[in-house]
């Protein structure tokens, strides 16, 4: 008699910068979602698929929960969170263990969770000793007695081996939803644009990442090289000047770093051309948001 096969959807939620994308990458063993120490790095819902002989888990990384969205962009990000709340077999709710439990409570207060929850206390590596860990677990357990709680470090990969068996308790017996070679449902162009955006978060101060979007204008696969042309959208001329840098030094550095990351990701040589376009208030413009892939 063949062993049963389990398959299901596991969606990752939490406040901005709780480590959701780092957790997804650790579970997949691949850098699929971009990460940054800055908040609100993830803007899209990103699916990552883990397929083993007896199970397939479809993980979904969602934007950080913004209780009070300021822009239409933020509202669309929160719509992605809302849709993810409604189509999961299990919610992995991620909290930063180093922060007060009250702060986490206020962020998730508006969540209407209709599925089972595993509460993961992430960033275990930030606490100094066992007593601190015990105290934090006790505080979260008191606040959320209805949920099973697991302390983890997504960055260090500990103890993620224990997490998958816990997840499988909640997944139904079902056939695989995706072919076993699939890692995601997103096209290559999406990840190439995200690589550029990740480097913008790395290289530039707070204002620039939050005012920028990246659009892949063309992606041509030639015999020995991929030729990629990308447009960086910003809100103001001053931001364009910062991105360019003195004598074009900053955009050159951005191009070099992005190209190297793309070559690692694509396993091919890349020729990258970057352009900058100023579109005032694009984050509140319905047409621009739709054009840039932020939904209807």
| Domain finish residue from 102, 137, 168 | 168
The owner of tokens 């620039």 is 208
| Domain finish residue from 134, 168, 202 | 168
Answer whether 58's CB lies under 8 Å from 178's CB.
yes
> Are both 86 and 227 inside the same structural domain?
no
Q: Is the pLDDT of residue 14 over 60?
A: yes
Largest CA distance in the chain: 69
Answer whether 87's CB lies under 8 Å from 80's CB.
no
> Are both 140 and 53 inside the same structural domain?
yes
Q: What is the pLDDT of residue 34?
A: 58
Q: How many domains does the chain have?
A: 2
Q: What domain range includes position 32?
A: 6-168
Q: Which of 28-42, 58-72, 203-217, 221-235 has the lowest mean pLDDT?
A: 28-42
* Strand 55-61 to 46-52 pairing: antiparallel
Q: Which of 4-8, 16-20, 60-64, 181-185 has the lowest mean pLDDT?
A: 60-64
> Are both 111 and 74 inside the same structural domain?
yes
CA atoms within 13 A on the CB side of 99: 18
> Are both 267 and 122 inside the same structural domain?
no
The model's pLDDT over 238-272, given as tens digits with 9 standing for 90+, comes to 999 999 999 999 999 999 999 999 999 889 999 99
> Are both 225 and 286 inside the same structural domain?
yes
CATH number at residue 87: 3.40.50.300
> Are both 120 and 38 inside the same structural domain?
yes
The model's pLDDT over 36-90, given as tens digits with 9 standing for 90+, comes to 565 556 666 788 899 999 999 999 887 766 666 665 766 666 666 666 666 789 9
In a domain, 20, yes or no: yes
* Stated pTM of the model: 0.78
In a domain, 245, yes or no: yes
> Are both 132 and 205 inside the same structural domain?
no
Adjacent-strand bridge partners of 60 = 11, 47
115 pLDDT tier (thresholds 50, 70, 90): confident
> Are both 138 and 236 inside the same structural domain?
no
């Amino acid at each position: 008699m063949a062993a049963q096969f389990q398959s299901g959807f596991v969606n990752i939620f939490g406040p901005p910068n709780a480590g959701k994308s780092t957790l997804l990458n650790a579970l997949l063993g691949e850098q699929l979602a971009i990460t940054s120490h800055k908040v609100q790095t993830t803007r899209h819902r990103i699916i990552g698929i883990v397929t083993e002989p007896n199970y397939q888990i479809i993980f979904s990384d969602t934007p950080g929960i913004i209780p009070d969205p300021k822009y239409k962009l933020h509202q669309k990000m929160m719509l992605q969170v809302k849709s993810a709340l409604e189509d999961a077999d299990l919610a992995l709710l991620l909290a930063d263990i180093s922060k007060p439990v009250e702060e986490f409570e206020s962020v998730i207060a508006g969540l209407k969770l209709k599925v089972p929850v595993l509460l993961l206390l992430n960033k275990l590596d930030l606490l100094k000793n066992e007593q601190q860990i015990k105290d934090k677990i006790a505080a979260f357990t008191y606040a959320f007695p209805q949920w099973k709680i697991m302390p983890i470090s997504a960055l260090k990969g500990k103890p993620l081996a224990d997490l998958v068996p816990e997840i499988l308790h909640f997944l139904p017996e079902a056939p695989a939803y995706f072919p076993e070679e699939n890692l995601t449902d997103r096209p290559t162009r999406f990840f190439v644009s995200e690589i550029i955006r990740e480097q913008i978060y790395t290289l530039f101060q707070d204002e620039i990442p939050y005012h920028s979007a990246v659009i892949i204008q063309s992606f041509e696969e030639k015999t020995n090289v991929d030729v990629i042309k990308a447009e960086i959208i910003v809100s103001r001329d001053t931001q364009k000047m910062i991105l360019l840098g003195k004598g074009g030094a900053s955009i050159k550095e951005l191009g070099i770093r992005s190209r190297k990351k793309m070559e690692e990701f694509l396993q091919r040589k890349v020729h990258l051309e970057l352009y900058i376009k100023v579109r005032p208030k694009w984050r509140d413009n319905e047409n621009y948001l739709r054009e840039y892939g932020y939904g209807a």
